[in-house]
Amino acid sequence: MSVSASPAPSSVAPDEIARFSALASQWWDPRGPMRPLHAMNGPRIAWTERHLTPLTEARGGRLRVLDLGCGAGLASEALAAHGHDVTGIDASADAIAAARAHLAISPLGPDAGSLRYECGSAEDLLARGERFDAVTAFEVIEHVTDPAAFMAMIAQLLLPGGRAIVSTMNRTVRALAIAKFGAEYVLRLLPRGTHDWRKFVTPAELATYARQAGMRAIDVRGLTWRPPAWRESRDLGINYIAAMTRD
């Protein structure tokens, strides 16, 4: 959910990084301000794994996975637990410190060595020539100022045939009412100001950005709150998750 798109002013908003840095110490509290992410993490990782398993089988070994904008590592640890070699990167030093502290006490055991965290930008990885079998970006694109450039960067980080998994919120009236006002002002599930509805990305826009970046959309599903849990659905009206491939 935190931002790690680019250090350039056109790609990263410093106020976004500061906002999520302030929450770093509470990131792993399932009843704290990140509790919606804790609740959503299971279904979004399960959906992601369904799209990574064929790639794992085709490549005959562990996948190198980049968790872009990893925050304090909720998804990173889950991906490592599924047997991937994971790099979590985020522009927030506080979030990365929280991620490393939690990893030190996590139940990953031997798999903890398959997870590394880095504070910085994806450009740092590109400059070193690093490429990955898969890139995940969960609840990140709605916090960057240039989503088209963000998707182009993801494409550059992927090896040919790699997979990109992006989850975000749709720019609909329902999302404005529920994900913005409902979650932040009524139910107080998130701190006020967490989201800017104008920066939500529609599925059609995401598919266009992917195509412009040389990727092809292969699947999209809704993530819907149906008490007592988040579930996959055909409803893309609020939250959704999409899979893309670089041919």
Binding residues: 44, 69, 90, 138
Where do we find the tokens 């030190």? 104
Dihedrals phi, psi of 17, to nearest 5 degrees = -60, -45
Structure tokens at 105: 């006490």
Q: Which one, of 177, 182, 176, lies nearest residue 196 by Cα?
A: 176
Please count the residues of the chain.
Answer: 247
CA distance 198 to 13: 15
What is the rounded (10 degree) CA torsion for 118, 122, 127, 131? 90
**What is the dihedral sign for C-alpha 50, 92, 14, 26?**
positive
Identify the band that residue 193 occupies on the pLDDT scale cut at 50, 70 and 90.
low
Task: Write out the binding residues for S-adenosyl-L-methionine.
Answer: 44, 69, 90, 138
Domain assignments of the chain as residue spans, ordered by start: 14-245
The yes-or-no verdict on residue 4 having pLDDT over 50 is no
Give the pair of three-digit tokens for residue 188.
């107080």
Q: Dihedral through CA 130, CA 137, CA 195, CA 24, nearest 10?
A: -70
* The pair of three-digit structure tokens given for residue 178, joined into one six-digit string: 């529920």
For range 127-153, the mean pLDDT: 95
The CATH class for the domain spanning 14-245 reads alpha beta
Region 105-130: mean pLDDT is 92
Are 71 and 40 a contacting pair, CB within 8 Å? no
Nearest to 225 by CA among 186, 156, 169: 169
* Residue 228: predicted pLDDT: 83
What pLDDT is recorded for position 2? 45
Q: Which residues pair with 200 in a beta bridge?
A: none
Pair of tokens at residue 142: 């709605």
d(CA 128, CA 66) in angstroms, rounded, equals: 14
- pLDDT tens, residue by residue, 162-184: 999 999 999 999 988 876 544 55
For the stretch 46-75, pLDDT in tens is: 999 999 999 999 999 899 999 999 999 999
Sheet holding 158-169: strands in order across? 115-119, 85-90, 64-68, 132-138, 158-169, 239-245, 216-226, 229-233
8 pLDDT band (50/70/90 cuts)?
Answer: very low
